[in-house]
Structure 1
């Protein structure tokens, strides 16, 4: 029986999110169910739906939390190297580091799809944008220019490059192809792109 009077709505939301995040971390997206979350917190499945609407909405909120945790981790790595350190290497290391430390949570971010009739909430979009903003600002800093649409587009491409290397590393595909250092390979591709961009800017 559910403990309906034990928590406020805000407390319930936090309890459901933290428990759902733990479940995905343990079992992956394939092993996730809102019913199991309800069982673990001692509430009915109806409570999950009352707070989040659907299981898909709950997963989206969990993924937004993962994005936030990832952004914090990335920020800590940048702080550790300081303003004069190798911040691009810290970015790539932070990307791989979060994926390796939390493979199921990381994979769930990219594997989950909301139904066509339900997009992300404003809070989800805002929460997820933090990570991208960190990367865009660091890319602009690395090539010595202001953030603009071109830098944002370059940053998205570089994220995709690093993501591909990271996904292959997590899945084991790189090892099958004989690549022993996927993170170093990803960093090399990023440095090449940034060097080319810097040369273009200097030629203007």
Structure 2
């Protein structure tokens, strides 16, 4: 059974995560500031660092939750009765829709700047790995003779390609891809690349 101190610390951790998640998912990562976070969570600024080493750790915690939501969103919208290519296309389309409807939180997944020597926690890598595993499954069905290393490389290549199209489409700048074309572009890419 947790002591009162451990319980208070766990409660503070939950409040900080909830507050950070609200800020990041509505206003974006740039809006997360220690002073406002502490005020919203009802604690002193210094108390944040009794629970998290730094704000990056807190953001990683929020991002892991976003990865989990993204993975569930993709899974819920993936047609499992179609061909492996159909599944990849529905995953890519789901990724687009998640990004479009959750832009601040989705962008925070890629906007966190950490130094090269900053360790990435195993639990965070596991959340990312779970997302990549969803992409790898239909690739294994399409290419049963491929090695795990080759499947992993293709998984990352497809994710990066779809992510790039989605990002450009959501940027809405001069080089932006019109939103109404992105779904078709995702389908063309995924079907052509996996038709070897």
What TM-score, normalized to structure 1?
A: 0.83
Deviation at 1:143, TM superposition (A): 4.0
Mark the CA change 1:147 to 1:106 in structure 2 (over 3 Å): closer, same or farther.
Answer: farther
Q: Distance in 2 between matches of 1:109 and 1:18?
A: 17
Deviation at 1:39, TM superposition (A): 1.1
The answer for the alignment partner of 1:160 in structure 2 is 160
- Does the CA-based 8 Å contact 1:166-1:183 persist in structure 2? no
Aligned residue-pair number: 191
The answer for the alignment partner of 1:199 in structure 2 is none
**Matches for 1:61-80 after TM superposition, within 5 Å:** 61-78=61-78
- Does the CA-based 8 Å contact 1:168-1:174 persist in structure 2? no
- Does the CA-based 8 Å contact 2:89-2:191 persist in structure 1? no
Deviation at 1:15, TM superposition (A): 2.2
Deviation at 1:5, TM superposition (A): 7.0
Mark the CA change 1:162 to 1:64 in structure 2 (over 3 Å): closer, same or farther.
Answer: same
Secondary structure (helix, strand or coil) at the match of 1:53 reads coil
Deviation at 1:116, TM superposition (A): 3.6
Q: Distance in 1 between matches of 2:28 and 2:146?
A: 39
Q: Distance in 2 between matches of 1:156 and 1:32?
A: 29
Q: Distance in 1 between matches of 2:178 and 2:98?
A: 23
Q: CA RMSD in A?
A: 2.4
The answer for the alignment partner of 1:98 in structure 2 is 98
- Does the CA-based 8 Å contact 1:66-1:105 persist in structure 2? yes
**Matches for 1:179-198 after TM superposition, within 5 Å:** 180-196=180-196
Structure 1 runs of 4+ aligned residues shifted over 6 Å read none
Q: Distance in 1 between matches of 2:116 and 2:28?
A: 23
Q: Distance in 2 between matches of 1:82 and 1:179?
A: 25
Q: Distance in 1 between matches of 2:161 and 2:33?
A: 32
Secondary structure (helix, strand or coil) at the match of 1:181 reads helix
Describe the superposition over 1:70-108 as per-residue Cα deviations: whole angstroms up to 9, x where unpaired: 111111112xx2333631222111211110111011111
Mark the CA change 1:167 to 1:182 in structure 2 (over 3 Å): closer, same or farther.
Answer: same
Mark the CA change 1:75 to 1:176 in structure 2 (over 3 Å): closer, same or farther.
Answer: closer
- Does the CA-based 8 Å contact 1:140-1:147 persist in structure 2? no
- Does the CA-based 8 Å contact 1:24-1:105 persist in structure 2? yes
- Does the CA-based 8 Å contact 2:24-2:31 persist in structure 1? yes
The answer for the alignment partner of 2:80 in structure 1 is 82
Q: Distance in 1 between matches of 2:116 and 2:82?
A: 45
Structure 2 gap segments, 5+ residues each: none
